[in-house]
Structure 1
């Protein structure tokens, strides 16, 4: 019997704690993103929870969070994780939202300044089976939009010009870890027995 809570009943502070645990144990702990550790250690990651359960609520909050990130000093806020625990269970529907998210970036005249990347509990790369462990590189406990500064990406590429090597290393890490190892990380939504 599963003890996972219904996402609609999970309070925002728990959603953030779950996301932070995923970031620490999976993204940083498995070194899936070698650029995540520094902003996390410096407290430069902003977590925002959209309590609405539809596209318009998320897009409205995305607009506000993009503008807030653009207006903030990178020393204070390097990146934002906008988490949407309600209403986006279907990965393909959530993925379809990305065109609208990109349109918001364009409407705010932030092309070339900020970009949006998706994470989802059921993330699936094109051409993979749903249960392929390599999909876990983009699996977060809740549907999440990662708001990223283009300057940060440029610095990362300069520091690590062989970006495809990160992807390949991630695939190897997850294949070695396997489903049981991923489950043992405890990076899903909160459960009563975590």
Structure 2
């Protein structure tokens, strides 16, 4: 698979953040860190898993050693390494091990996004899957304290955020999602 140009990857990722994640308020704290330029987006060019893990190591170290005021969260995007969602999903076990190796459990958590994301026991076309659908396979490295503040600002109940997101996506529907992310 030929990798798309980095400019296109960044453009599509930013469109997704601006129109879906922030525009639909799927993540309650995304807007504040995004407008303050505290979101780091890194496009990986790794040709194999070991090199991608090296990229992950670097980003975990950077996030752990950089004040949140400079970089609050990182999106590690790879446009071609994980075309199959289930392979990507299995790889997340390795990602959890890497976070533990860096002694960052409880400090940094990783959320996953993929163009074909599918929750366990959900049909592939279930609109609920779209909460975690992104233009490219993406690891989102989040500071746990930022997540806790975001959840608290939404009333302290993460389940309410999930339920609200599902209602939003059900109202939007798959055609609405596609139209939302279409190039202007």
Gaps of 5+ in 1: 1-5, 188-192
User: Which secondary structure does the structure 2 equivalent of 1:21 belong to?
Assistant: helix
Between 23-32 and 155-164, the greater mean CA deviation after superposition: 155-164
Aligned to 2:37: 43
Q: TM-score, normalised by structure 1?
A: 0.90
Q: CA deviation at 1:72?
A: 0.7
Aligned to 1:93: 87
Aligned to 2:66: 72
Residue 53 of structure 1 contacts residue 88 of structure 1 at CA under 8 Å; is this kept in 2?
Answer: no
User: Which secondary structure does the structure 2 equivalent of 1:81 belong to?
Assistant: strand
Instruction: Say whether residues 1:155 and 2:139 are aligned partners.
Output: no
Q: Give 2:168's match in structure 1, choosing from 147, 170, 173.
A: 173
Residue 28 of structure 2 contacts residue 151 of structure 2 at CA under 8 Å; is this kept in 1?
Answer: no
In the alignment, the residues of structure 1 paired with residue 66 and residue 8 of structure 2 have an alpha-carbon distance, to the nearest angstrom, of: 25
Residue 55 of structure 1 contacts residue 97 of structure 1 at CA under 8 Å; is this kept in 2?
Answer: no
Q: Give 2:98's match in structure 1, choosing from 79, 86, 104.
A: 104
Runs of 4+ in 1 over 4 A off after TM superposition: none
Q: CA deviation at 1:157?
A: 2.7
In the alignment, the residues of structure 2 paired with residue 78 and residue 186 of structure 1 have an alpha-carbon distance, to the nearest angstrom, of: 25
In the alignment, the residues of structure 2 paired with residue 141 and residue 76 of structure 1 have an alpha-carbon distance, to the nearest angstrom, of: 25
Gaps of 5+ in 2: none
Q: CA deviation at 1:82?
A: 0.2
Q: TM-score, normalised by structure 2?
A: 0.95
Count of residue pairs the alignment pairs up: 183
User: Which secondary structure does the structure 1 equivalent of 2:110 belong to?
Assistant: strand
Q: CA deviation at 1:158?
A: 2.4
